[in-house]
Amino acid sequence: MSTSQLKSVIQADGASPGYDPGLSDAELLHMYRTLLLTRAFDDMCIKLQRSGRIGFSVPNRGIEATSVGTASAFRKDDWFFPSYRDFGVGLYHGVDPTDMMHNMFGNKLDTSKGRQMPVHFSFVDPIHLVSISSPIGTHIVQAVGAAYAFKQRGEDKVCMASFGDGGTSSLGFHSALNFAGVWKAPVVFTCQNNGYAISCPNEMQTASESYAIKGLAYGVPSVRVDGNDIFAVREATVAAVARARAGDGPTLIECVTFRMGGHSTSDDPSKYVPKELFEHWAKRDPIDIFEKALFKSKKLTKKKKAELQKECEEQVIAGVRLATDAPAPGLEEIFTDVYAELPDHLRRQGEMAFDLAKRKGSADAGDGAFPL
């Protein structure tokens, strides 16, 4: 494995001579559809935020191949500790975009019932996707802990931990790699090197020749791939997952990509990203690259492309309508899901909150009686 050479598979014209991804036509089209669905969901979330219907989102444009290529190498019974720029991970494994949209609106059908920020998804079905974490790097340690627990219990499971280039400067990253290397924990670390940690460029983030090389100090094999080439990402991740499942320990994969937008909807990238960089990476759009490969191999037609695009857009629009119509979480949700039996001091606070809501005329308080 190389920590400096950039591994790629798909050429500029979409060709990949002699390369066999080992996937059926249906699997290839599922990957492609997930890319389209990820972008459709992302685009809709930006529009919803800009129109004031939701409060926040995290642009995924440009990162889709890294997320989907990584996800495709794992089984559904593995565990996922993704970054907030990973819409494609859940969508690839069957998470309904409507359920993700409930989180964006923070309504009563949201799995966190409005307690989390938008984009902070968590699911136990159809996959174990552990709640997105805002504090940078904390989930990387959690992934190692879960992976080591699976190893100790003799369970055939691998954990995925995904993070941005800024995450490599966190304490969690270094602690996680150290323990994973020592324990040979079955975990795959995916670094989305998208060029900037909010507004901090790579050259101000690290003096290392790459992010991949950081794994070697901890005894963690590392590789650097083209993050916009879904085959290159998948190939590296398949090998890493196989190592982990065989008991040979963790792998660090640096996926070199670029976010074609801000760090979040609260950010204006035009203030710090040169226009020429956007123009350069626009020509390396990960969906366009994969499309060329599918057209080249005759796995995709223009008609099928149009059908899939329409299907994905309609699925996302349907999710928005359902999430919009869902009721807001009840006031009592502030006090649930923490204690088996509510402590007296929280009960008193709940009664005070409901009494105040009743006097102020809040419909959320029902008849004004604290229900717990």
> Residue 361, exposed/middle/buried by CB under 10 A (0-12, 13-18, 19+)?
exposed
Report DSSP letters for 331-351, one per residue: GGGGGSSS-SS--HHHHHHHH
Verify whether residue 259 is a known catalytic residue. yes
Amino acid at 240: A
Specify the residue for token string 């190692």: 144
Residue 94 CA to residue 34 CA, distance in Å, equals 10
Catalytic residue, from 61, 224, 263, 284: name it: 263
Verify whether residue 174 is a known catalytic residue. no
Query: C-alpha distances in angstroms, 175 versus 148, 169, 171, 239?
Result: 14, 11, 6, 24
Work out the end-to-end distance of the chain between its first and last CA atoms, rounded to an integer number of angstroms.
57
Catalytic residue, from 75, 272, 280, 321: name it: 272
**Beta strands 196-197; 200-201: pairing state:** antiparallel
Verify whether residue 115 is a known catalytic residue. no
Residue 18 CA to residue 203 CA, distance in Å, equals 36
Residue 22 CA to residue 328 CA, distance in Å, equals 45
Residue 102 CA to residue 72 CA, distance in Å, equals 24
**Catalytically active residues, by annotation:** 259, 263, 272
